[in-house]
């Protein structure tokens, strides 16, 4: 009977939704213990300025707001409402009560003081920040003027719950090898070492070998990431260093087409030394066909 099939269908679909809900909650609420190696937080003006430059050019403000008081990142019927939290010491912020270790645990490991994996916070791209750079970023964040704004709880749609439940969207805390987060301190310069260091900030989206393809940690409406290796299937083989720098700075390719907004524009705030080092490194890595992660 049609009615009978209908009821059965509703029960099966309803059951799957409930399971996704419970499983995603389990992943988001699971607590993790990570060993935090303390980082020295500097106080000199030069270190604060460096921290500000890193925070601005690595996307922190894209999600946490220009005033660091929190910002809307995703508002979509399909995904829900995702906010970056308030990082200042104002009312409505969790970070106001952070110890130095809490800052390091959140940024380097993607884990909150309560042990929960932070959702959307791309710590897999920040785990490489050396003690000097991370200390500078934390010093800058701690110096930010307080903003009174409640952190808006992240609301996951049913689809987003399903994507978390089935590991299509992963928490950085589940991707990072917590026992081996020991980033070296790399002096800035147009060198392969510095380029390799900066390029860790690209592999969350462009893949561990930079061949592009589907972005596992982002919403499914994002386009595939581009191939950054010197393979024939990559646009970069036809670009000069100048083309690369101009594209990152302007968000527009040499052929006049615009990059999708999923490619963070904040990287355009990197200075010449950083972008030249990145280009030098990307020219040196093995050529891999697009999407063969
Ligand atoms: C793609 C968006 C995004 C980017 C980029 C990003 N964050 Fe986050 N971050 C978040 C979200 C969302 C949370 C809250 C996650 C949660 O509550 O589960 C968070 C949480 C944090 C926390 C913990 C604070 C709290 O409320 O528990 C710190 C500290 C932090 N981020 C620092 C940074 C720094 C520093 C950078 C840049 C180096 C950065 N974030 C870049 C999205 C982002
Ligand atoms: C949050 C995800 C994300 C991060 C992080 C990211 N990218 Fe991208 N990037 C993308 C996406 C998605 C595209 C494809 C955009 C499009 O198709 O319009 C892209 C495109 C590009 C392009 C254009 C290439 C082409 O063939 O058109 C370059 C160059 C690039 N990224 C470099 C970088 C570098 C360098 C970094 C690290 C400093 C980086 N990206 C980090 C998502 C990201």
Name the pLDDT band for 206 (thresholds 50, 70, 90). very high
The mean per-residue pLDDT over the stretch 212-222 comes to 81
pLDDT band at residue 77 using 50, 70 and 90 as cut-offs: confident
Q: What is the predicted pLDDT for the residue at 216?
A: 73
Position 184 confidence tier, pLDDT thresholds 50, 70, 90: confident
Residues having CB closer than 6 A to ligand 2 are: 125, 201-202, 204-206, 215, 222-223, 225-226, 228, 235, 244, 247, 253, 259-260, 262-264, 267, 278
Q: Which ligand is nearest to the CA of 276?
A: 2
Residue 188 near residue 266 (C-beta atoms within 8 A): no
Res 266: pLDDT = 95
| pLDDT tens, position by position, 21-42 | 899 999 999 999 999 999 999 9
The reported pLDDT for the residue numbered 1 is: 40
Q: What is the pLDDT of residue 140?
A: 98
Interatomic CA distance for residues 2 and 59, integer angstroms: 53
- From the CA of 247, give the closest atom in ligand 2: 29
Atom of ligand 2 nearest to the CA of 222: 12
- For 105-114, how does the pLDDT look when each residue is reduced to its tens digit (9 = 90+)? 999 999 999 9
What whole-number distance in Å separates Cα of residue 47 and Cα of residue 133? 8
Name the average pLDDT for the chain.
92
Is residue 90 within 8 A of residue 148, CB to CB? The reply is yes
Checking if the pLDDT of 72 tops 60, the result is yes
CA 199 distance to own-chain centroid: 13
Q: With cut-offs at 50, 70 and 90, classify the pLDDT of residue 2.
A: very low
pLDDT score for 271 = 97
pLDDT of residue 46: 97
From CA 113, how far away is CA 126, in angstroms rounded?
17
Q: What's the burial of 273, exposed, middle or buried (CB within 10 Å: 0-12/13-18/19+)? A: middle
Distance 263 CA to ligand 2 centre (A): 5
pLDDT digits (tens, 9 = 90+) for 241-293: 999 999 999 999 999 999 999 999 999 999 999 999 999 999 999 999 999 98
Mean pLDDT of 76-105: 94
Q: Is 129 in the pocket of ligand 1 (CB under 6 A)?
A: no
* Centroid of ligand 2 to alpha carbon of 197 (angstroms): 17
pLDDT of amino acid 95: 95
| Ligand 2 atom 34: residue of nearest CA | 202
> What separation, in Å, do the N-terminal and C-terminal C-alpha atoms of the chain show?
48
Going from the Cα of 239 to the center of ligand 2, the distance in angstroms, rounded, reads 14
How far apart are alpha carbons 28 and 96 in whole angstroms?
A: 22
With a 6 A CB cut-off, is 202 part of the ligand 1 pocket?
Answer: no
């Amino acid at each position: 009977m049609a009615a009978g099939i209908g009821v059965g269908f509703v029960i099966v679909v309803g059951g799957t939704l409930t399971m996704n809900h419970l499983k995603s909650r389990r992943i988001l609420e699971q607590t993790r213990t990570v060993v935090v190696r303390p980082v020295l937080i500097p106080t000199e003006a030069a270190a604060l300025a460096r921290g500000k430059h890193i925070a601005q050019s690595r996307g922190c403000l894209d999600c946490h707001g220009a005033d660091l008081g929190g910002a809307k990142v995703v508002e979509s019927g399909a995904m829900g409402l995702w906010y970056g939290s308030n990082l200042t010491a104002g009312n409505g912020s969790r970070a106001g009560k952070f110890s130095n270790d809490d800052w390091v645990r959140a940024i380097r490991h993607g884990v909150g003081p309560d042990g929960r994996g932070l959702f959307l916070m791309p710590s897999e791209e920040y785990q490489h920040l050396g003690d000097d750079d991370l200390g500078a970023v934390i010093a800058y964040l701690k110096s930010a003027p307080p903003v009174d704004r409640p952190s808006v709880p992240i609301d996951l749609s049913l689809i987003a719950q399903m994507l978390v439940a089935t590991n299509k969207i992963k928490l950085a805390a589940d991707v990072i090898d917590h026992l081996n987060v020991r980033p070296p301190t790399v002096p800035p310069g147009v060198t392969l070492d510095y380029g390799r260091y900066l390029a860790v900030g690209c592999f969350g989206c462009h893949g561990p070998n930079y061949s592009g393809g589907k972005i596992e940690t982002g919403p499914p409406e994002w386009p595939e990431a581009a191939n950054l290796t010197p393979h024939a299937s990559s646009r970069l083989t036809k670009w000069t260093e100048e083309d690369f720098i101009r594209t990152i700075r302007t968000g527009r390719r040499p052929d006049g087409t615009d990059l999708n907004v999923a490619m963070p524009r904040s990287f355009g705030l990197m200075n010449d030394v950083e972008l030249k080092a990145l280009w030098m490194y990307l020219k040196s890595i093995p050529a891999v066909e697009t999407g063969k992660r």
